[in-house]
Structure 1
Amino acid sequence: MPALTGFLWLIGYYLIGEGVIHLSGLPVSAGVVGMLALTATLIVLGRVPASLGAAAQPLIAMLAMLIMPGVVGVFFILDELAGQWWIILGALILGTLASVATTLWLLKRLMENRHAR
């Protein structure tokens, strides 16, 4: 039952994202807006509820399958992307470097907090 409650959290924040996108017309994914709202809520709470963790754990294990439809969809628009491969390559490299740098910074910060306790 805790996993069901966690899935309701996730669906609820996705719907919040849908509402924000619908009302504001922002050119951003509703999932991204919902996850930002969920992140803000978890920061305020200062913890991750057990039910949310129970729902998220199986999703993390299937992350590759959840990403695959978007990756496969790119193959259907390759002709439209043909002249933009330098931009795509640059975005991939910069995005990867930013992701690695952010992860390392966060890991270092969390490890410092753990040793301070």
Structure 2
Amino acid sequence: MNVIKGFLWLLGFLLLGDLLVTWLQLPISAGVVGMLLLTAWLILRGRLHTDIAAVSQPLIALLAMLIMPGVVGVFFVLGDYAHFWLAAVLALVVGTLLSVLTTLWLMSRMMPRQPPRESDDD
């Protein structure tokens, strides 16, 4: 039952994101807006909702399969954008580096600091 409730939570935030994107005419994916709203809600709440955790674990295991249709779709339009190869490579490299640096910075800020262990040699 927790998985169904968690899925409904995720669906609710997706629909809220869709509502905001449509209402404000934002040029952003409704899924991205919904996940940002979910993230903000979880941060304000201060803890992870158990129902959302129950549905998130199986979805993380399927993440590669969820991304695959978009990746496959690129092959059908690749010829249309062949003359933009340099911009695409730069966007991929810079985007990946910024993503990794942002993740490292957030982890260093959010992870609890552990005091240094005292050795038993003393």
TM bucket (normalised to shorter chain) is over 0.9
Q: CA deviation at 1:81?
A: 1.0
CA distance in 2, matches of 1:26, 1:93: 26
Q: Which structure 2 residues correspond to residues 37-48 of structure 1 after superposition, within 5 A?
A: 37-48=37-48
1:75-107 deviations in whole A, cap 9, x for unaligned?
111122111111110111011101111121122
Q: In structure 2, the residue corresponding to 1:26 is in which secondary structure?
A: coil
Provide the TM-score with structure 2 as the length reference: 0.89
5+ long unaligned stretches in structure 1:
none
Percent identical across equivalent pairs?
56
CA distance in 1, matches of 2:109, 2:22: 36
Aligned residue number for residue 34 of structure 2: 34
Structure ranking higher in helix proportion: 1
Aligned residue number for residue 24 of structure 1: 24
Q: CA deviation at 1:9?
A: 0.6
Task: Tell me, yes or no, if structure 1 residue 108 matches structure 2 residue 100.
Answer: no
Aligned residue number for residue 76 of structure 1: 76
CA distance in 2, matches of 1:9, 1:65: 22
Q: CA deviation at 1:109?
A: 2.1
Following TM superposition, the consecutive aligned residue runs of length 4 or more in structure 1 with deviations greater than 4 angstroms are none
Aligned residue number for residue 118 of structure 2: none
Q: Which moved more, 1:72-81 or 1:46-55?
A: 72-81
Bigger-Rg structure (1/2): 2
Q: CA RMSD in A?
A: 1.2
- How many residues are matched? 115
Aligned residue number for residue 7 of structure 2: 7
